[in-house]
Amino acid sequence: MSALRLPSRLVWRTTRAFSSARPNCHASVPLSNPDAPPDARRNVFEHRYADKLKKRVEATEEPGAAQRKDNSPVKPLSDLLDLGLILRKPHTPTQISALWNVYHASRTNGTGRGFLSAAIPVDVYDSLRHRAKMYPMFVLPLARKHPALEQEEHANTGAHEFFLMEWAFHGSPDPPSPSQDPLDILASPPSAATSHSPSSPPPPTSTILFTPLGEYKLRQSYAQPHLIITHYTELAHTHGTVLMRGEIVPSSNNPSSFMLSQIDAHLLALGVQRFYLPSKPQGEDEAQDARLELVRVFHEEPAKFKWEELIEAADVGLGEK
């Protein structure tokens, strides 16, 4: 196993200033073996949070919700949207996106706190998952302001909290079908766009887990993720859309508060795009190409990976701490 170690100055900043970790902790972050075949080294951590995801789904399921027939830890999209109605009556991707965002904006007593949502074109999702299968793990920094660092020799670089992000794939969902209510079908027959069955299954559903690096170094597989992003692909073939849902984990001490602010969650989600989407046309955006190269080096040449370059390339602004 290859491993990366944080430089001592960055270890102090991540563990002492922003977590309960011991200030001299130098636990390393394991990476997959770069010499192994791609299929063997991808998704090393694919099942690390499977049980936790399942428990979280069970805790938020509404009475009467449909039960999954597979072993996926992801809550079915049919629990969140009336897929039968969407397929039975014509809906454009723009309309589906609006429904998805309005639904999440109505959560948490109408405030939308604790949730992110977006509709992603299927070709963009395909680009994301292609790179994610090659490089299923990375670290994203969030810039922080901390008064204890103002007098440091390198205070101009600021402080950063690092989050370990881990992709996992859960197989292709069953293609949705229009509602079987005979009265509704007589009144509104299925549209031409959705009346045929796709020749191939939808792309696999995926999740991204974001865990503070300091906490992961202390607790490894027992570390608590602070943000879970899920990509739902049920409508990928019928509407060319993948629905993204972000759930910020509630605080264990106060269920009405969350482990991350909305701004921090948005910045982490933006970091996924910055480091996993190739520039279009490829090679014309040097900054984006440099970010993609950092992800490759992180996995394949960890000895050459430089945390300072990561901080410079991230450029995701300040969080709220």
pLDDT, greater one: 1 or 227: 227
Chain centroid, CA 154 distance in Å: 32
Which pairs from 49-52 meet CB under 8 Å and 24+ separation? 49/73, 49/166, 49/168, 49/209, 49/225, 50/168, 52/225
For 167, phi then psi, to 5°, come to -85, 150
Tens digits of per-residue pLDDT, 167-194? 999 999 988 877 645 445 444 454 444 4
* pLDDT (0 to 100) of residue 51: 54
pLDDT higher than 90, residue 241: yes
User: Given a cut of 70, is residue 208 above it in pLDDT?
Assistant: yes
Beta bridge partners of 162: 141
Per residue in 55-72, pLDDT tens?
444 444 444 444 445 456
Q: How far is CA 212 from CA 46, 216, 254, in A?
A: 18, 6, 19
pLDDT greater at residue 44 or residue 49: 49
DSSP at 148: G
Task: For residues 85 and 178, give the distance between their C-alpha atoms in angstroms, rounded to a whole number.
Answer: 7
Which residue did the predictor score with more confidence, 147 or 4?
147
CA distance 127 to 101: 23
